Amino acid sequence: MCGIVGLLIKDPSQRERLGEFVTPMLCSMGERGPDSAGLAVFEERVADSARRFSLFCETPGCDWIALGRRIEAELGAKPGISFAASAAEFAANLSRPDLQAWLSKNAPDVHILSVGRSMRLVKDEGHPQEIAERYGFRRLAGSHAVGHTRMATESAVSPLHAHPFSAGEDFCLVHNGSLSNHHMIRRKLERRGIHFETDNDTEAACRFLEWRMREGDPLETAIERSFAELDGFYTLVIATLDSLVVVRDAFACKPAVAAETDAYVAVASEYRSLAHLPGIEHAHLFEPQPERIYAWNV
C-alpha cells in the first residue's frame, strides 16, 4: 500500500497555513502506511548564493547545536540551524559536495536528505501522526508540499528508506506502488557515476528523473521517457521549486484523486485525505488518467 499526498496553495495569503492543511491529509493516510512518513515543504526561497540543507542523523540524541557550531568554525558558513529529534535544517553559503565531504569525515551518521533554495525535507520511522507531532508539521508554511505514509513491501523500514526521495536540488517525489526493474535502472545510472543512498525502488525513479533533467530534459519530457523506462505500478507525486505534478502508470491501479479550487490543488491516494479541506464540496474533483501528466505551477 502506501499513502501519498500533495498540496499546492494558489492564494499567497494562505501559505502560512500550508502545514495546517497538509498535516491532516498526511495523518489520515496513516492506515495506508503506518511504518514511516515524510513531508517535503517548499518554503520561502533563500538567496541565489545560499542553499537550504535538510539533514537526518541515524544516531538518536544528535547534538545539533554542537554540529552547527563546528560547521560554522570549520566550513566558515553560519548555519541558522533549526532542528527537532533526528532532523535538522539550515541555510548557508555552502555547496553540497563541501558539506558532504565534511560530514563523511566528521559526522558519518548524519545524512543530507535534500538540498535546494526552497525545499525542506523531513522523514522518519514511526506512525505518521507521531512523526507529524515530533517534527511540528502543522507549523510549516510554504507554497506547496508532498507527503508520504509508507507500508514497506520491497526494502527495509528505515528513515532513509522513507519517502519523499530527493535528488539534485529542489526536487522530490513520493510513490505508491512498486517498480520491478529498479535494479536495472540503478545499474544504468551507477555506471554514469550517480550515487544511491538506499536499495529502495523509488529512489531509482527519483534519480532517473533528476538525471534526465540534468541532461536538459524538461520535467514533462523526463516523465514521458520514464513511461518506457519504469516497469511497475506507480502513482507519483513530484514537486520542483515551482510545480506540483501527478502521474500514474498505464494501468493506473494505484489510486489517486485530485481536487482543485481557486485557492489550492490537492492530490491524495484517497478522498478521505481531502475531506477536511475548505471548500472541498465545490472543488473540481477528478481521478488522474493513466500516463497523463498533470502539472500545476506555483
Partner 1 sequence: MERVIEFDLAQRSVRELNDLLHGPAAELAGCTVRVKHPQGKHNLAVGLTAEVDLEIAGDAGYFVAGMNQRARVTVLGNVGRSVAENMMSGAVRVRGSASESAGASAHGGLLVIDGDAGSRCGISLKGGEIVVGGNVGHMSAFMAQAGAIIVCGDAGPGLGDSLYEAVIYVKGAIAGLGADARTEPMSDTDLVRVGRLLDQAGFRHDPRAFQRVASARTLYHWNSEVHQEY
Please, which residue, 201 or 249, has the CB nearer to partner 1? 249
CA 298/CA 296 separation, integer angstroms: 7
- Quick one: cell of 55? 539533514
Using the rule CB under 8 A, is 265 a contact of partner 1?
no
The answer to whether 6 and 267 have CB atoms below 8 angstroms apart is yes
Choices 132-140, 160-168, 216-224, 271-279 (CB under 8 A): range interacting with partner 1: 271-279
Q: Which is nearer to partner 1, 24 or 159 (CB)?
A: 24
- Check binding of 287 to partner 1 (CB under 8 A): yes
Contacts to partner 1 from residues 242-261, by CB under 8 A? 251-253, 255, 257
Separation between Cα atoms, residue 18 and residue 298, nearest integer Å: 13
- Closest separation in Å from C-beta 271 to partner 1: 4
Task: Name the minimum Å distance from CB 222 to partner 1.
Answer: 24
Q: How far apart, in whole angstroms, are the C-alpha atoms of residue 161 and residue 196?
A: 11
Asked whether position 34 contacts partner 1 by CB under 8 A, the answer is: no
Ordered DSSP codes for 51-117:
EEEEEEESSTT--HHHHHHHHHHHH------EEETTEEEEEES--HHHHHHHHHHH-TTEEEEEEES
Closest contact distance (angstroms) between CB of 276 and partner 1 is 8
CB of 38 to partner 1, least distance (A): 23
What's the grid cell of residue 141? 508554511
62 is catalytic: no
How near is the Cβ of 32 to partner 1 at its closest, in Å?
Answer: 11
Classify 279 in phi/psi space as left (phi over 0), alpha (psi -120 to 50) or beta: left
Q: Which stretch binds partner 1 (CB under 8 A): 9-17, 70-78, 211-219, 267-275?
A: 267-275
Note whether 290 binds partner 1 by CB under 8 A: yes
| Distance of alpha carbon 235 from the chain centroid | 14
Interface with partner 1 includes 282 (CB under 8 A)? no
Instruction: Tell me the one-letter amino acid at 74.
Output: E
- Catalytic residue annotation: 2
Which residues of the shown chain bind partner 1 in the complex (CB under 8 A)? 251-253, 255, 257, 270-276, 285, 287, 289-290
